[in-house]
Amino acid sequence: AQSVTQLDSQVPVFEEAPVELRCNYSSSVSVYLFWYVQYPNQGLQLLLKYLSGSTLVKGINGFEAEFNKSQTSFHLRKPSVHISDTAEYFCAVSPIKAAGNKLTFGGGTRVLVKP
Amino acid sequence: KAGVTQTPRYLIKTRGQQVTLSCSPISGHRSVSWYQQTPGQGLQFLFEYFSETQRNKGNFPGRFSGRQFSNSRSEMNVSTLELGDSALYLCASSLAGSGGASDTQYFGPGTRLTVL
């Protein structure tokens, strides 16, 4: 079984400041890692995913994440946020050898960007 | 290409009733997954359908069921509704190629179900 912990439920940040959202996971098997964003009254949109290779993954809208296998972490960062980045962010994992899709999500981190 | 569509967007039912939610995946996508989102439990996986067969299942009671049609459209049914079933139900589709678990899932806007 897998579990995902997002260490901050809410993160207030000023516009143009950097932000880091922390994600730790637990799994007895190897997993793929994902970050999704949910804007108000919308579904989820993929920001980035780690499958293999370089541990630094770049995604859309200037976001990047670093996979750390020894710490079982996959933290998301953006060097300079915009008002439009106000949303809820979800970290998720999926077992590599699973047949098909079965995402396990963290509890989410609400990011509020202040002017 | 049109995105994932879900109907209806909002639904109000009373306890004991049943409900059917519909999901149309992105054209060419063969896998459809369903998730329940609530403030208390967060996002939880319900089940995944591929080629009209349930391929993965989460830990939900048998009142929750689904099916997939030959055109990949999917429906989800909840029988004997309980107050705790009030949630946003999200559908996601993916290509479901050989690397299924790594596929990007594309989510619809969800159906907001309120049980009174």
What is the least distance, in Å, from the CA of B102 to any CA of chain A? 7
Q: According to the model, what pLDDT value does residue B97 have?
A: 61
Which tens digits make up the pLDDT trace of A3-40? 999 999 999 999 999 999 999 999 999 999 999 999 98
C-alpha count within 13 angstroms, C-beta hemisphere, residue A72: 15
Q: According to the model, what pLDDT value does residue A24 have?
A: 98
Burial of residue A8 (number of CB atoms within 10 Å: 0-12, 13-18, 19+): middle
Residue A105, pLDDT above cutoff 90: yes
Which tens digits make up the pLDDT trace of A41-89? 889 999 999 988 889 999 999 999 999 999 999 999 999 999 999 999 9
Q: Do A95 and B101 touch (CB under 8 A)?
A: yes
What is the least distance, in Å, from the CA of A59 to any CA of chain B? 13
Residues in chain B: 116
Which tens digits make up the pLDDT trace of B20-74? 999 999 999 999 999 999 999 999 999 999 989 999 899 999 999 999 999 999 9
B60-76 residues labelled b (16+ CB within 10 A) or e (exposed): beeebbbebeeebbbbb
All residues of chain A having their beta carbon less than 8 Å from the beta carbon of residue B101 are: 32, 94-102
Burial of residue A78 (number of CB atoms within 10 Å: 0-12, 13-18, 19+): buried
